[in-house]
Amino acid sequence: MARLTAALALLLFASCFPGARPDSGSGELILCGDKEVYMIDLAAGGRKVWGWRAEDRPEIPAELRKRFGTTDDCKPVDGGASILVTSSGGGVALVERATGRAVFWAAVENAHSAEMLPGGRILVAGSTGKTGNRLALFDRSRPERELASYPLHGAHGAAWDPESRIVWALGETELHTYALEGWETATPSLALTRRIDLPDAGGHDLRPVPGTRKLVLTTRKRVWTLDRGGPMFEAHDRLGGLAGVKSVDVHPGTGRIAFVQAETSWWSSRVRFLSPEGEFPLAGERIYKARWGAGAAPVR
């Protein structure tokens, strides 16, 4: 019976993604790029286990739903119970995994990523545009109501460091750090504490490496790691020479690396892995970022 069930799962996946050769890796993987954000279970041969489209969510204002024609980040938050979705079309949403319901939404031009901060605050990185080149701060309990904004040219990523209580934010040519101020009040703010020049231009993805004090970040031409106590940039020992890498994510339990390197314009039709090496083809899909869905720790 178990073999029959596994075979049926593989057939179901193949019908959704013709030509796919399921990787034998572990865990759930969240994928985004087109208008649907979805999750596959690699342990089940890549079976699709969850999907979400803004256009299907009546709680999101109609005009804002139109801003999710493409998606560019899909982070698991709240211990994996929610997904934080952004779109370069200008939208951000916090989505309950169990129900698919958006509990927060806002418009931020060219939103490329977002990060959960303590106290239910959400920081959105808005890349270039007339109202872009900035970080926008919100409270998850108040959709659409912006609390504050901070300039950062080509803002593309943000990462919260719970140990030092510092926000790291990635721009086109700089990496910024911010301290929390007035965080227990109704008017919280971020104080810029440091500007760090990137080793090359085109800052794109920024993620913590679980179990370490390192960050992994991508630029236009390379992939880097950064010791948060230094800081000192070093070329990633396995990915350092790769250009056009859109996302890198390290599984918090196994340490396996999932990454997406653009191969057609801004997207790829496969996710690649290290430790161990592998790939998961997704024929006809436009994948921009891949995030591990399991083991996401809650913000502290």
30-39 pLDDT, tens digit each: 999 999 999 9
pLDDT score of 23: 55
pLDDT score of 300: 74
Q: Which amino acid is at 48?
A: K
Neighbouring-strand partners of residue 30:
39, 291
Q: Tell me the domains of the chain and their CATH numbers.
A: 22-292 (2.130.10.10)
**Which stretches of the chain drop beneath a pLDDT of 70?**
1-26, 294-298
